[in-house]
Structure 1
C-alpha cells in the first residue's frame, strides 16, 4: 500500500513503507481466543438455568467490550501506524482519532543503528535507532526487516545527489 501522495513533495518518493511487525498483535489475538473460549464455556455452564438468556446477553456485551478494547483497538492502531522512508525524510505516523507524527529530514540524521534479540531475529524484526540533531536518539520498535530498512535508510542518508555514479558520500553530507 503506497503512502498518500499528497503528503509527499514534488520530487519526493517513498523508499520504504512499513507497519509495525505482526508480533505486536499476538497478545490481542490471544485475548480474542480467551474471551471467545471463556465466554462460550460460561454460556454452556449457564444454559441449564432459567435465567440463562439475560446471562448470555450480559456475557455477549462483556465479551464484545473486551474484544473491541483489547483486540480491535490494537489492530486498528497497528494498521494506522506508518513507518515511511522517502528520498527526503523519515516519517512516522500513528494514531486513529488523535494522530501524531514525526518527520526527520535526511540531512539531519547523523547515524542509524538497529538492535534485535534472538526472538526478534527469528521473527524478522527489531528496533531501529536513529540519531539526529536532537538530544536523544529516537527508537522505533517492531520494525519488520529491520536490517534491510537500516541499510536502505543508511543509503538514503549518505546518498550524494551531486554524484550520479552511485558514490555514497560521507555521513551527514
Structure 2
C-alpha cells in the first residue's frame, strides 16, 4: 500500500515506495514448507486406528501454532515496514500494532552510503545509510535495488526531481 496522498504536501512527488527486500522471509518460507511437508508426511503415515483423526487434528493444530511466530508474524512485520522516497523527504514506517515512523527532510542529508554483503549482492539489495549533520544516520536495511535508490536520492539532493523519477530505465 502506497503512502496516502494526505500525508504529502501539495507539491511533493513520490519517487519510490518500497518494502524491505523479501529475502528477509526466505528462511521463514523454507520453515513453512518444511512444516507443511512434515505435516502431510506424518498425516499419511499414521496407522489406521481409532485415535488417528484426533492425532491428525492435534498435529495440524500444533503446526498452525508453530507457524504463527515462525512465519505469520515476520510476514506481517515485513508487510508493515515501508520506505518512501519523495521529492522532499525520506519516510520510514514500521509496526504491526505500535506504529513508528521517521521523516528525514532531504535538506538534512549530507551523505548517502550503501553497503552490500555478498548475499545482498545475490539478491540485488543492501543497506542505505543517510548521514545527517547531527551524526545520527538513518539506516535503511534490505533496500531492494539499493544502487538505484542511492542514485535517486543523490539526484534529489542536487534538486533534479525529474532525474530521480526517471533514474531507473526499467520502470
Cα separation, 2, equivalents of 1:96 and 1:141: 18
Quote the Cα distance in structure 2 between the aligned partners of 1:156 and 1:65.
Answer: 46
Relative to the length of structure 1, the TM-score reads 0.85
Specify the alignment match of 2:44 in structure 1: 44
Structure 1 window deviating more from structure 2 (133-142 vs 112-121): it is 133-142
Are 1:9 and 2:9 matched, yes or no?
yes
The RMSD of aligned alpha carbons is 1.8
Q: Name the residue aligned to 1:104.
A: 104
User: 1:112-146, CA deviations, whole angstroms, 9 ceiling, x for partnerless residues?
Assistant: 01011222112110110111133332221110000
The equivalences for 1:151-170 within 5 A come to: 151-159=151-159
Q: Where does residue 23 of structure 2 map in the other structure?
A: 23
Shift of 1:63: 0.9
Runs of 4+ in 1 over 4 A off after TM superposition: none
Q: Which moved more, 1:35-44 or 1:146-155?
A: 35-44
For 1:131, the equivalent position in structure 2 comes to 131
| Cα separation, 2, equivalents of 1:87 and 1:160 | 9
Distance 1:150 1:35 in 2: 39
CA-CA distance at 1:22 after TM superposition: 1.4
Alignment partner of 2:102: what SS?
Answer: strand
Structure 1: stretches of 5+ with no match in the other structure: 162-173
CA displacement at 1:160 relative to structure 2: 7.3
1:3: how far off? 2.1
Structure 1 residue 51: Cα displacement:
1.3
Distance in 1 between residues matched to 2:116 and 2:136, nearest whole Å: 20
Q: What SS does the corresponding residue of 2:16 show, helix, strand or coil?
A: strand
